[in-house]
Amino acid sequence: MPFMRAGLNLYYEVTGEGDPLVLVHGSWNDHTSWQPAIEADFRASFRVVSYDRRGHGQSEAGAGRGTRRQDEDDLAALIEQLGPAPAHVAGNSFGGIIALGLAARRPELLRSIMVHEPPLVSLVADDPAAMRELAPTQATIATVLDHLREGEHEAGARLFVEQVAMGPGTWDGLPAQVREKFVDNALTWLDEQSDPDWSALDLTALSRCTAPVLLSHGTDSPAWFTRILDRLAEALPQAHRQTIEGAGHIPHVTHPDEYVATLTHFLQQA
């Protein structure tokens, strides 16, 4: 089984041929969440690298409380060791935050960046309208955190899926193995949320990243995501915006064909 050493063992998979494209998954799941997009033709055009972030799937968790900076360092090590750098990087949700955080610190590693709805709430903390839109989501997340701290992992996972990520009634419709992944990764998400800097980003440093960046969102997602993307677009010299019709927070799972077409078109233009 392929593992890479980056201070700890990270599990990864490689498929396809062409320019390197690294996929960074969001919270609560692992590299397998990208499989619909990989099968929808990513591997026909790129050498696709998907991996389990630390504490997820088959990767080690490491000692003590983790930080987002460690996730960024893991991504940098992956790009440098599996090569060649620079690489195209696509990140969803928290995975998008990791990609942007690395871009602010190590822009030379990134050939292009594609992020879908990074929840960088700190960027809109001074926007009263955005914070009003965020209030219901933040209240739900606080309840999810309470469930996890009480050891009620499945209840917390169900609430997160139905009220934050995917919509009411979706939990019971998920395959059993997908629900298990959410429950298994619940404590890693709790750990992520405990990092005081998880949603902060140095926009001045990010503005020095000259790689093309695609900022996407779904029409079925909360409006506050667009306000975050507005702030990112103002900072990035080569920012491009894209709306994915009918999609929500995880389009690579729910709308893989549309998602792959969007990214492939961007990469061809970039």
How crowded is residue 149: how many other Cβ atoms within 10 Å of its Cβ? 11
> For residue 115, is pLDDT > 80?
yes
pLDDT in tens, 178-216: 899 999 999 999 999 999 999 999 999 999 999 999 999
Residue 43 contacts residue 12 (beta carbons within 8 Å): no
**Candidate from 32-36, 43-47, 157-161 with smallest mean pLDDT:** 43-47
Topology, domain 3-144+199-269: Rossmann fold (3.40.50)
Check pLDDT > 60 for residue 48.
Answer: yes
23-35 pLDDT tens trace: 999 999 999 999 9
Select from 33, 31, 98 the least CA-distant residue to 67: 98
58-96 pLDDT tens trace: 999 877 677 899 999 999 999 999 878 899 999 999 999
Domain-wise residue ranges, the chain: 3-144+199-269
Q: Whole-prediction pTM value?
A: 0.94
DSSP state letters, the chain: --EEESSSEEEEEEES-SEEEEEE--TT--GGGGHHHIIIIIHHHEEEEEEPPTTSTTS---SS---HHHHHHHHHHHHHHH-PSSEEEEEETHHHHHHHHHHHH-GGGEEEEEEE----GGGGTT-HHHHHHHHHHHHHHHHHHHHHHTT-HHHHHHHHIIIIIS-TT-TTTS-HHHHHHHHHTHHHHHHHHT-TTTT---HHHHTT--S-EEEEEETTS-THHHHHHHHHHHH-TTEEEEEETT--S-HHHHSHHHHHHHHHHHHHH-
Q: Is the per-residue pLDDT at 136 higher than 80?
A: yes
